[in-house]
Amino acid sequence: MNPSRKSVKPATDYSSSSLERRGKALFFSLPILSWALYDFANTIFSSNINTIFFPFYVNEVVGSNAVMNNIAQSFISYANAFASLLLVIFSPLFGAAIDRTGRKKAFILPFTLIAVFCTFMMGIVGGLDNSTVVSGLPLTFLIVVVLFVIAKFFFHSSLVFYDAMMPDLGNAKELPLISGFGIAVGYVGTLVGLTVYLFVGEEGNHEAFIPTAVLFLLFSIPLFLFTPEKKKENITNVSFLGGYKEIVHTLKEMRKHQAIFLFMVAYFFLNDAIATAIAMMAVYAKAIVNFSSSAFVLLYLVSTIASIIGSFLFGFITKKVGAKKAVLFVGYILVVALTLAVFAVETWMFWIAGSLFGVSLGSLWVTTRTLIIQLSPEEKRGQFFGLFAFSGKVSAIIGPVVYGSITLLFSEYGTIASRMALGSLLLFAIVGILIQRKVNQI
């Protein structure tokens, strides 16, 4: 029996009732809808910047042939890895801050504004004259990359606090449905974000950055205004080193929470595979099956629709079979998607792989956010969310570094290098499944 499962209790006034809300009473209550709209907002950033237009922009500036496409993939991989390195350094502090103060929105607001500002400036700088060259690369390009790293860091930092707000919104039975609803609404945001492409076309991908920043800000506002958070009665000042000491103490106690420890290791590998694959999908599709920008946007649209359906359904699947099994199901889908993408020789194979990537991406968040809540004691939930983010961010370093190093070292082999790089992610996914199978959950 897992004792940590017993400690999960209703977190706020919204969950104080013994009655389980259903349908509109749950999904369209103002606090939950406003919370879900932040998923809508940040997914616009995630899809437009991380997955589509920043990789397109890098490939537009750097990639000119098969070899340079591999170099572009390496550049994108290392930029993502560096942003994740910053997250590894700082994310343990965030979980400790939640447990000490109970405050989430106080961090989400400034982090979101910084991410929005840097995204906006990416569009401004990307449109400037690029005649000044540093180490063979346009100065404006290098500045855009730095702005991307900063924006991605603060974007992902805000998600630690955003995820930790979910227990404030419902009881244990409602959480899988709330999580699934949030993810589904988020991927509807992706559909809205893709409309930016209508104003970009095949060239000038930097033109997508400014409208993305505006949409990100606009749909974040309801969370700031209408979603409450549970207030902590005794507020303790958070010291910089104190946060790390608390995390170290939690790690020492991890032997008492074997299930959550194994789950975090499993999540490390699964998240490594899916996050890196999604980040590299645009340039990989171009390198392997010669997808144009417009074709990839259409593929991503199909993938997003699959994410909406999959994430919403996995809320019910998680409730039916339990979060542990649901995570395993997501892992199996991911393995099939990666296998198809690695060995794709026809465009239809990549269309199927893209759809399955969509299902696995949305469903991974639904299932893992629920499992982390079910496995963690309430009094340490913020810390475990911090460690959860820590596990994901470390994997977000390893995956891009491995992928980028393979494409860099074997760049002269053209598309074979890209297939080898994606194949490494398939191994990560298999390891994650094997570890997840050992997680015990009542």
Most confidently predicted of 150-154, 299-303, 435-439: 150-154
For 4-35, the pLDDT digits (tens) are: 333 333 333 444 444 455 556 666 788 889 99
Mean pLDDT, rounded, of the chain: 82
What domains does the chain contain, in order, with CATH numbers? 34-233+242-436 (1.20.1250.20)
Average pLDDT over residues 147-174: 86
For 213-230, the pLDDT digits (tens) are: 999 999 999 999 988 777
Q: Which residue has the tokens 């930092």?
A: 157
- The verdict on pTM exceeding 0.85 is no
Q: Is 241 a residue whose pLDDT tops 70?
A: no
pLDDT of residue 6: 33
Q: DSSP string of 340-367?
A: HHHT--SHHHHHHHHHHHHHHHHHHHHH
Q: Is 434 a residue whose pLDDT tops 80?
A: yes
Structure tokens at 338: 């990666």
Where would I find the beta strands (DSSP E) of 122-200? Answer: 133-134, 137-138
More confident residue, 4 or 379: 379
Q: Is 432 a residue whose pLDDT tops 90?
A: yes
pLDDT band for position 305 (50/70/90)?
Answer: confident
Which residue, among 184, 285, 272, 206, has the nearest Cα to 48 in the 3D structure? 206
Which residue, among 220, 230, 196, has the nearest Cα to 42 in the 3D structure? 220
For 37-55, the pLDDT digits (tens) are: 999 999 899 989 998 999 9
* Strand, helix or coil for residue 387: helix
Q: Which residues of 22-40 are buried (b: 16+ CB within 10 A; e: fewer)?
A: eeeebbebebbbbbbbbbb
Task: Decide: 283 and 63 in contact? Cβ < 8 Å.
Answer: yes
pLDDT of residue 3: 33
Q: Which amino acid is at 22?
A: R
Average pLDDT over residues 389-403: 82
For 176-200, the pLDDT digits (tens) are: 778 778 877 887 888 899 899 888 8
Q: Is 90 a residue whose pLDDT tops 90?
A: no
Name the percent of the chain lying above pLDDT 70. 85
